[in-house]
Amino acid sequence: MERPQPDSMPQDLSEALKEATKEVHTQAENAEFMRNFQKGQVTREGFKLVMASLYHIYKALEEEIERNKENPVYAPLYFPEELHRRAALEQDLTFWYGPGWQEAIPYTQATRRYVQRLQEVGRRQPELLVAHAYTRYLGDLSGGQVLKKIAQKALDLPTSGEGLAFFTFPNIDSATKFKQLYRSRMNSLEMTPEVKGRIIEEVFNSTVALVSNVVNNKLH
C-alpha cells in the first residue's frame, strides 16, 4: 500500500488526513470481520473480543490525552465530555464479562503493540495524538450508529442499549455539526510542514494498525 506524500496533500489538515486514510478505510471495510459484521454475522464471543480491545486502546489514548490536555499541540481538540469512551466501555464490559471484567478481558499482542505506540506518542511526540484522536473519535461518530443497530439486531440485545454504550454519544446533539467543529479546530492548529507530514504519516500508520488489529485478533 502506498504511503501518502505530504507535498501532494490538501492544505487543510482535516482534508489531508481524510485523503491519507481513504485507501486504508476501503481495505478495512472489505476485511472479513467487517464484511461479516455488516451482514449481521457476528458472534457474542467475537463482539466481546472487539470491545475488550477497544477498552485497552481508549484507556491508553485517553490517559495520554489527559497528560497533554493543556499542551497547545493538542488542547484545541480536548473534548472529554463529548468524546471520551473509557467510561462507556467500562459499562459495556461489565455487561459482557460481569463485575470481574478487568481480570477476564483478553489483551492480545496486536492490541498491546497499538497501546505501546499510543503511550510513546503521548510522552515523546504529543503532536501526533491528533492523528490517533482523529482516527478513533471521528470514525466512531461516523459509523458508530450503524454498527450499533447491526449489533443490537444480530446479538438480540435490549433496545435500551445495554452492552452498546460505546456507540452512543449522549453529549453530542448533532454528529455532523460536531465533526465540522472538530475539523475546524484541527485546521486551526499551528504547525510546521514537517510536523504536518509526521501527523499524516501517523494517521496512515495508525489506521493500518487498527485494520491489522481486527485481522490479527481474528474477530470473526
Looking at the 3D structure of the chain, how many domains does it have?
A: 1
What are the phi and psi torsion angles at 156 (to 5°)? 55, 50
Distance CA(17)–CA(192), nearest Å, equals 16
Residues flagged as binding site for heme b: 18, 25, 134, 183
Residues flagged as binding site: 18, 25, 134, 183
Residue 197 lies in a domain: yes
Contact by Cβ (8 Å): 207, 28:
yes
Q: What is the per-residue pLDDT across 29-61, written as a single tens digit (0 to 9) for each?
A: 666 777 777 788 888 998 999 999 999 999 999
| DSSP for residue 41 | -
Contact by Cβ (8 Å): 92, 147:
no
Q: What is the per-residue pLDDT across 125-146, written as a single tens digit (0 to 9) for each?
A: 999 999 999 989 998 898 777 8
Residue 118 lies in a domain: yes
Residue 68 lies in a domain: yes
Q: What's the domain range around 146? A: 22-215
Q: Model pTM greater than 0.85?
A: yes
Residue 47 lies in a domain: yes
Higher pLDDT, 160 or 165: 165
Q: What is the per-residue pLDDT across 96-129, written as a single tens digit (0 to 9) for each?
A: 999 999 999 999 998 999 999 999 999 999 999 9
